[in-house]
Structure 1
Amino acid sequence: MNYKGKPCEIVGEKEVFGQRIAWIRLIDDNSFLEVPYEDLEKSQSKYSLAYLRFIAIAAKIKDEVAKKNLLAPYESSLIPLPHQILVLEKVMQSQQNRFLLADEVGMGKTIETGLILKELKLRGEIKRTLVIVPKSSMMQWQSELKDHFNEVFHLYDSEMITSMTRTFSNINADEEFNFWTQHNQIIVSTDALKPLEKRQGWSQDRVDEYNKYRMTAVLDADFDMVIIDEAHKMGGATSTVSRYILAQELCNTVPNVLLLTATPHRGKEDHFRRILQLLDPDAFAGEGLPNIEELEPYVIRTEKRFAVDYEGKKLFTERHTHRLDVFLDINKHQKQMALYEAVTDYVRKGFNTAKQTKNNATGLIMILFQRLVSSSTAAILSAMKGRLERLRLGEENHLEDYSNEIDNRVDDYGEEVDFEDIYQYDPRGFEDEEALLTALIEQAENCMRTENDAKADALHHKLLELQGELNDHNLKVLVFTEFRTTQKMLCDFLRKKGYKVAFIHGGQDIDERKRALLQFKNESQILIGTDAAGESLNMQFCNIVVNYDLPWNPMMIEQRIGRVDRIGQKKKVQAYNMLTNNSVDLRVYEVIEEKLNNIIEQLGIDKTSDVLDSALDLKKVNKLYLQSLLNPERFDFASDQWLNEIKGKLKEYKSTEGVLPQVDATEINYKKAAEIKHSPLPYWLEALIEQYTITQNGSVIKNYAGYSEVHLQNKTKKISFDAEVSLDNPGVEHISLQHDWIRKILNGIGEFDQKNGIPVITSENGEETPGYWSLWQIRAKNNFENKTQYQGFFIADNGKQYIAYANDIWNRLIAGTTNFTLIETQTDQNISEIEKTLNDSLFIVFQNLEVEILNNMASKKENRINSYKFQKSRINKIGIENIRHSKLTKLEKEHEAWMKEFKMENKVIPGIKQLLTIRING
């Protein structure tokens, strides 16, 4: 039946004052209506082979979905790898969704998180999610969750929160607004959220208001899940650090918690325990390192050496790092050498002046200028012109003024520098900085006019050498620089040499970066990237990385190389670190890159990026650079002292390396991932859309680009069932199980109406067995569980059932390989007798489903009670009394209501629906 053109089912009917009334359920949205019976329209018979195929495919898809233990892998735009599927299984099989995901760097923890998030959403267990990440990763997280899982997250940065705070605090309303409840899925940076204890110039009332609209409001926003990236940074030096207090209160408030870090222990037992207490304060309340048995219910870690692809082959290739020396020749580069020495002398004087006047801002600018002159003449010239202009205008001169030059990474330059602890052997400062800058600018301009840039020439020669060695003139090379002026210089230089060049920097939004990445992948030979390209984009199609200039933070080099040394890389990664023969950078490089690597190799440690993150103190690394710059005579002593300290830390790291439970290689089943990779679901979805479109008098045309154009009801839409095709072709929709169109089509499948007659088909060769084929939906459900199965049956004219033949017909209808012809629609008086014959078979299917539900109910009750106890113990630890009280009250009410409902509403109710019946003539 239809109501106003929409398919519906009659649930019941009655007569009131002579008027016939019907209760109906609309198939589209599952809503119930009470309507006059006369308004119902009889479904018209529109039987065609396309319609029969459409129903058969729809039922097969729904049956496949009903059977799946995990749906998220089929709902993502990528095919999860074996170890990622294992992580999802472990989390879903657990009684609590509170885990530390500690896979090694580059193993795809973001993808694992997306899978868990998607699975919990598909099961209806979560709705509101808060993701806390470093500021630099916000756009990457937003992009990956949208691209791979079609999950839309809203970014809440400091500026937005401040703006919304002003707006909401000025609203005069009877009930206070909480802007954290305006979106269900939010990504926020750690710094934007952490509470303040005090701030210079602020009253306590202002500090309290600041915290109220951040931490307090977030705790009161009823999130179902919190995800914390780089969770080791939340541990803090003590339990009183503001970011740890934030994490602690949040994790006590929210039932589902995922912490992500490749380096959770960092060789520090107390720090590690604090991180673990975010998951379960009681389980990790002791001291010292927990044992493996304690950690296993909460920690999942997979090592790179166990990671395999869909065929069981190792995922990660070898990586080789090379030093690429650039020798400045006195005959060719005399002016560049003189400029470097002159700027270095200027930096020393500036640093001395900054220390004498206690002006840290100038000291940081001097550090920046030293790095700029090591990068390129163009970069230091641009910065010196900017400083001279500000000095002449009498403006404040802060590091932030150069944020556009250094790609908005000013925080990397000075937050870990202790100026008071740096000793200079030459205490001279500025006498006339303006005059000195004017002369340096003239010197730099003259240098640029008359000499080729030595590093740029060396890069060009290296590119030619690599193209020749690998016999590939279209070789892809990723070049990193810290500075945008150097980036622009290199782009111009290499284009003049005939290369196709793309570029990425922090001033671009995520879409611009993606377009540049696509240009690099499909057209350009070279991508010049600032460190913005090292934060958010994966480039496994390239395996050559050149670090044109070297950041002072060694982890940044790891992050850069990590853009290509990732899952999916098919070739050996080759990284080249360019280094000019100047005294400042060369000395430090030899210590940090070469001597440190020797120590790591001697200790037998191969997890370089994990180790660096655990052992390196950036403050002391920066001090080494400054020692090399300001007091080179003491550098050897300082570097040896530093190396001895690092060696001790690395030995401690080595001793605690085995503290984490490791995923065993035998647990990783590549065949499960292969099943998803080769799943027929995308093909069935494509066939479903094709047959549905035909039944609606539309058409589907597939083009060479891999996507289809659907013409339906005077509208055209571009669609693809392959996520990569959709990503590569803007405007093409990716069609998956959860796409609104698919859900609407599948939900719109109504019950077969015998009053419209039964379609009769015949085989062209006459070899089919005569009889009736039918397709049924059998359901068993109560208020807590819902099990459904779709089953085909065949009853021959001799009265016998043939299950195998029924499935064969179903499969042939789906595949379109039948030789059937639709000849007529007939009314068959025997159909009711056939249904009686099927009754026992349908009942057996229901009984099997009922047993499954009853078994699940017992464990569901046990899990619920355990969850209630766990949540209660956590909420009792919330430090803010009014929030603790309201959360406990709410928990008690919800638990009582659930237990009462469980007791009353657990009886299993059967349901059957006939989807299709066909008469087959032999």
Structure 2
Amino acid sequence: MLYKGKAVEVLGTKEVFGEQVAWIRILENNDFKQVALEELEHSSSNFSLAHLRFIAIAAKIKDEVAKKNILAPYESSLIPLPHQILVLEKVMQSTQNRFLLADEVGMGKTIEAGLILKELKLRGDIKRILVIVPKSAMLQWQSELKEHFNEVFHIYDSELITSLARTFSNINADQEFNFWEQHNQIIVSTDALKPLERRQGWPQERIDEYNKYRMEAVLNANFDLVVIDEVHKMGGANQLVSRYLLAQALCNTVPNALLLSATPHRGKSDHFRRILQLLDSDAFASEELPEIAELEPYVIRTEKRLAVDYEGNKLFNERETERFDVYLDDERHRRQKALYNAVTDYVIKGFNTARRTNNQATGLIMILFQRLVSSSTAAILSAMQGRLERLRNAEDDELEDYQSESDATADEPLDTFDLEGVYANSAGALVDEDSLLQQLIAQAQECLRVETDAKAEAFISKYKVLQQEYSNPDLKTIIFTEFRTTQKMLKELLEERGYRCAIINGSQELDERKAALGKFRNQAQILIATDAAGESLNMQFCHIIFNYDLPWNPMMIEQRIGRVDRIGQKHKVKAYNMLTDNSVDQRVYEVIEEKLTNIIEQLGIDKTSDVLDSAIDLKKVNKLYLQSLLDPTKFEFAGDKWLNEIKGKLRDYQSTEGILPKVQESEIEYKKAADVKHSPLPVWLEDLLVQYCAIHNGKVERNLAGIYDIQLNGLKQRVTFEQELALSEPGVEHLTLQHDTIRRILSDINEYNYTHGIPVLRSRNNDETPGIWSIWQISAQNSAERKVIYHSYFVADNGKMYAAYANDIWNRILSGNHQLDLVDVCSAEGIESLITQEKEVLRSYHFNAFQNLEADMSAMMEARRTKRVKSFEFQASRINKIGIENIRFSKLKRLQAEHDKWLAEFKASKKVIPGVKHLLSVRIDG
């Protein structure tokens, strides 16, 4: 039946005051309406092969979806890997949705979290989601959730929260607004949300208001799922640390929780227990470390060595890091050497002056200058010119003034530099800094005018060698630098030499970075990137990296390499750490890279592991650099002390590594992922669209790249069924099962009506069995659940059922290779006896199919009831731990009311109602 041109299902009719009224369900959007019966019209059947194939394909797609245990992999623009599908299945099969995803680094925990939240949404279990991540990862999470799962998340950063709090606090309304309820899917940084106990210069009233619009408001916003990335950073030194208080309050309030960390234990058993108590404080209340069997219902960890692709091959290749020494020639690079020494002397004197006057800002700037002069002449020149200008204008010089030089400066907290405890030296202080800066600036300008940067020369020579070695003149290579001025210098120099370059830095918006990445992938040979590229972009299509200057944080080097050493990398990754022959950087490099690497290899620890990030205290690394700079004679002692401390921390890590339950190799079934990769669904969806356009007088054109231009019902669309195309082509939509266009097309199937006649298909080879082939939808449903199955049947003229033959016809019609022609449409009266016979034969088959569905539904309903009761008990126990009485009381009251309502609806929905819908019948004329 049709209502205003839309396919509908008539649920019932009745007479009201002499008017015939129908209760209908609109198939396109599942809306229910009560309409006048006379407004309904019978759909006409203008049979054609396109029409028959459309119904056959649509039914096959619906049947395939109905049989799937999990749908999220088919709704993603990526194909999940075997271990990621296993994680999704483990979570979905559990009686609770509170998990710690503890896969090793680089295994795609973000993808796993995306799959889980997508699956929970598809099942209708969750609607409101809060994702808490480090500030630097917010854009990456937002981008990956949109690109891979078509889930739009809104970023709430500190500035937005402060602005909203100010606005909402000024609204004089009868009912208080909670701006955390304005969006259902939110990403927020950890530190933007954590509560304050005190802040210098703030009265208690302002602190209370700050907390009210953050933690308190979030707790009242009724999120269904909280995702906490890098949860090991929330564990804190004790249970009173603000980050832990935030995580604890949220996990006590929100029914579903996903915690992500490669190193939740961090070598400390008390820290690990606190993380586990976020999942279930009762189950992990003991002071003892839990047994593996106790952890298995909550913790999933897959090791890199088990990661395989869709054919069962190992995923991760080897990587190689090589020290690349750049020697400055006494003649060719005389001015660069002299400038480095002069700036180093200036930095030492400036640092001494800062210490004597207790001016931390100047001390930090001097440290930055040392890093700049190690990077390039252009970088230190720009910074010195800026400092001289501010000195002459009597302006205070702050680290933020150099944000345009370094992407790292803005996010580098001041407390990572401790100016105390570094052995003193006998160098003097700054005198007449203005004149000294003028001399240094002139020296740098002369150096730039006469000499080519030594590291740039060395890179060009090495790149030429690599082009020959790989037999690839367009070899993709990334140069990483901390500083934008160095980046600019390199781009200009390399382009002068004829190389094609792209750049990425922190001044660009995410869309600009993606465009630059696209240029690098499709056109450029060399990408020159600051560490902004290490935050939100993956570059597996490149495998050669040059670290032009070395960040003082050794984990930053690993993060840079990690942009290319990821799942999907097909080559051995080669990273070159460029180091000039200056003693300051060389001394520290030998400690934090070479000696530390030896220790890690001796202990058998993966250098890319988060544990290294956990073990390294950046304050102490910075002190090593300062010691190397200010008094090299004390450096060896300071370096050995630091290495011994790191070694102890790494041993602590190893002592707790064995307590995590690990996924076994036998559990990872690569064929399940291969089924997703090779699923016929995209092919069927493609054919479905083509047939739909054919029977609705639409136009569809496909170009060689696989992009379709569609004109249908006055609307134009550019679409593709390939996720890679959709990601790389702006304005092209990726059509999946949940896309509105596909959902609308799949809903446009009316119930078959014999009165319109029966299409007759005749074999081109005259070798078909005569009979009636049909497709049916059998359903079992109550008010809470609905299970559906689609069957094809063939009842021969002799009254026998041939199931295998029925499926063979269905598959042939699907493929288009059916060798059948539509030759006629006969009336039902003409074959009335055959139709009657078909109905009699099919009655028992329909009933058996329904009974199977009913049994499945009963088991599913009981599992749902058990899970719901456990969830209620868990939520009630968590809410009882909330310290704020009014929040605790209101949440308990609301939870009990929701639970009582659910139980009542559950009891009322136990009655299962059968349904049989006839979709198509075809006369096969042998």
TM-score computed with the length of structure 1 as normaliser = 0.98
Report if the CA contact (8 A) 1:83-1:668 is conserved: yes
What SS is found at the alignment partner of 1:222?
Answer: coil
What SS is found at the alignment partner of 2:609?
Answer: helix
Report if the CA contact (8 A) 1:267-1:614 is conserved: no
Report if the CA contact (8 A) 2:269-2:656 is conserved: no
Letter matched to residue 213 of structure 2: Y
Letter matched to residue 865 of structure 2: K
Q: Which residue of 1 aligns with 2:289?
A: 289
Letter matched to residue 222 of structure 1: N
Q: Which residue of 1 aligns with 2:919?
A: 915
What SS is found at the alignment partner of 1:760?
Answer: strand
Deviation of residue 345 (structure 1)? 1.3
Structure 2 CA distance for partners of 1:179 and 1:616, relative to 1, 3 Å: same
Q: Which residue of 2 aligns with 1:884?
A: 888
Structure 2 CA distance for partners of 1:620 and 1:899, relative to 1, 3 Å: same
Please give the alpha-carbon distance, in whole angstroms, between the structure 2 residues aligned to 1:200 and 1:606: 42
* Per-residue CA distance 1:123-180 (angstroms, 9 max, x = gap): 0001010111111111111110111110110111111111111111111111111111
Report if the CA contact (8 A) 1:364-1:413 is conserved: no
Q: Which residue of 1 aligns with 2:907?
A: 903
Deviation of residue 664 (structure 1)? 0.9
Structure 2 CA distance for partners of 1:595 and 1:24, relative to 1, 3 Å: closer
Please give the alpha-carbon distance, in whole angstroms, between the structure 2 residues aligned to 1:20 and 1:120: 41
Structure 2 CA distance for partners of 1:818 and 1:415, relative to 1, 3 Å: same
Letter matched to residue 327 of structure 2: F
Deviation of residue 17 (structure 1)? 4.5
Please give the alpha-carbon distance, in whole angstroms, between the structure 2 residues aligned to 1:36 and 1:645: 81
Please give the alpha-carbon distance, in whole angstroms, between the structure 1 residues aligned to 2:483 and 2:546: 14
Q: Which residue of 1 aligns with 2:111?
A: 111
What SS is found at the alignment partner of 1:775?
Answer: strand
Q: Which residue of 1 aligns with 2:853?
A: 849
What SS is found at the alignment partner of 1:420?
Answer: coil
| Pair 1:319-2:327 in alignment | no
Where do 1:399-548 residues align within 5 Å? Answer: 399-407=399-407, 409-412=409-412, 414-426=414-426, 428-548=428-548
Unpaired runs of 5+ residues, structure 2, are: none
What SS is found at the alignment partner of 1:788?
Answer: strand
Deviation of residue 809 (structure 1)? 1.3
Question: Which is worse superposed, 866-875 or 601-610?
Answer: 601-610
| Pair 1:2-2:6 in alignment | no
Where do 1:618-767 residues align within 5 Å? Answer: 618-767=618-767
Report if the CA contact (8 A) 1:778-1:911 is conserved: yes
What SS is found at the alignment partner of 2:773?
Answer: strand
Letter matched to residue 787 of structure 1: K
What SS is found at the alignment partner of 1:395?
Answer: coil
* Per-residue CA distance 1:326-370 (angstroms, 9 max, x = gap): 111211111111111111111112111211222211111111111
Please give the alpha-carbon distance, in whole angstroms, between the structure 2 residues aligned to 1:416 and 1:699: 62
Structure 2 CA distance for partners of 1:624 and 1:16, relative to 1, 3 Å: closer
TM-score computed with the length of structure 2 as normaliser = 0.98
What SS is found at the alignment partner of 1:659?
Answer: coil
Please give the alpha-carbon distance, in whole angstroms, between the structure 1 residues aligned to 2:289 and 2:608: 23
Structure 2 CA distance for partners of 1:471 and 1:269, relative to 1, 3 Å: same
What SS is found at the alignment partner of 2:322?
Answer: strand
Please give the alpha-carbon distance, in whole angstroms, between the structure 2 residues aligned to 1:17 and 1:393: 89
Q: Which residue of 2 aligns with 1:210?
A: 210
What SS is found at the alignment partner of 1:914?
Answer: strand
| Pair 1:59-2:63 in alignment | no
| Pair 1:834-2:838 in alignment | yes
Q: Tell me the number of residue pairs that the alignment of Structure 1 and Structure 2 aligns.
A: 922
Please give the alpha-carbon distance, in whole angstroms, between the structure 2 residues aligned to 1:670 and 1:316: 15
* Per-residue CA distance 1:791-813 (angstroms, 9 max, x = gap): 11111111111111111111111
Please give the alpha-carbon distance, in whole angstroms, between the structure 1 residues aligned to 2:797 and 2:704: 47
Q: Which residue of 2 aligns with 1:599?
A: 599
Report if the CA contact (8 A) 1:367-1:413 is conserved: no
Letter matched to residue 882 of structure 1: N
What SS is found at the alignment partner of 1:686?
Answer: helix
Structure 2 CA distance for partners of 1:443 and 1:288, relative to 1, 3 Å: farther
Please give the alpha-carbon distance, in whole angstroms, between the structure 2 residues aligned to 1:858 and 1:745: 34
Letter matched to residue 874 of structure 1: R
* Per-residue CA distance 1:412-453 (angstroms, 9 max, x = gap): 263212112223212522222222111111111111111111
| Pair 1:36-2:40 in alignment | no
Report if the CA contact (8 A) 1:263-1:613 is conserved: no
Report if the CA contact (8 A) 2:267-2:652 is conserved: yes
* Per-residue CA distance 1:770-802 (angstroms, 9 max, x = gap): 211111110011233321100111111111111
| Pair 1:332-2:332 in alignment | yes
Report if the CA contact (8 A) 2:51-2:695 is conserved: yes
Please give the alpha-carbon distance, in whole angstroms, between the structure 1 residues aligned to 2:608 and 2:35: 70
Q: Which residue of 2 aligns with 1:235?
A: 235
Deviation of residue 70 (structure 1)? 0.6
Report if the CA contact (8 A) 2:481-2:528 is conserved: yes
Q: CA RMSD in A?
A: 1.4
Please give the alpha-carbon distance, in whole angstroms, between the structure 1 residues aligned to 2:172 and 2:608: 55
* Per-residue CA distance 1:793-848 (angstroms, 9 max, x = gap): 11111111111111111111111112222223232132345323311110110011
Question: Which is worse superposed, 876-885 or 2-11?
Answer: 2-11
Please give the alpha-carbon distance, in whole angstroms, between the structure 2 residues aligned to 1:606 and 1:30: 52
Unpaired runs of 5+ residues, structure 1, are: none
Report if the CA contact (8 A) 2:291-2:659 is conserved: yes
Q: 2:874 aligns with which of 870, 876, 901?
A: 870
Please give the alpha-carbon distance, in whole angstroms, between the structure 1 residues aligned to 2:496 and 2:443: 25
Deviation of residue 257 (structure 1)? 0.7
Please give the alpha-carbon distance, in whole angstroms, between the structure 2 residues aligned to 1:59 and 1:320: 52
Letter matched to residue 818 of structure 1: H
Deviation of residue 906 (structure 1)? 0.7
What SS is found at the alignment partner of 2:658?
Answer: helix
Letter matched to residue 727 of structure 2: L
Please give the alpha-carbon distance, in whole angstroms, between the structure 2 residues aligned to 1:150 and 1:15: 45
Question: Which is worse superposed, 401-410 or 204-213?
Answer: 401-410
Please give the alpha-carbon distance, in whole angstroms, between the structure 2 residues aligned to 1:734 and 1:672: 23
Please give the alpha-carbon distance, in whole angstroms, between the structure 1 residues aligned to 2:146 and 2:386: 40
What SS is found at the alignment partner of 2:140?
Answer: helix
Deviation of residue 29 (structure 1)? 2.1
Report if the CA contact (8 A) 2:104-2:302 is conserved: yes
Deviation of residue 522 (structure 1)? 1.4
Report if the CA contact (8 A) 2:755-2:828 is conserved: no
Report if the CA contact (8 A) 1:368-1:413 is conserved: no
What SS is found at the alignment partner of 2:162?
Answer: helix
Structure 2 CA distance for partners of 1:23 and 1:67, relative to 1, 3 Å: same
Percent identity between the two aligned chains:
67
Q: Which residue of 2 aligns with 1:262?
A: 262
Deviation of residue 506 (structure 1)? 0.9
Report if the CA contact (8 A) 1:257-1:279 is conserved: yes
Q: Which residue of 2 aligns with 1:561?
A: 561
* Per-residue CA distance 1:365-403 (angstroms, 9 max, x = gap): 111111000000000111111111111112221111111
Q: Which residue of 1 aligns with 2:575?
A: 575
Where do 1:759-798 residues align within 5 Å? Answer: 759-798=759-798
Report if the CA contact (8 A) 1:319-1:573 is conserved: yes
Report if the CA contact (8 A) 2:597-2:607 is conserved: no
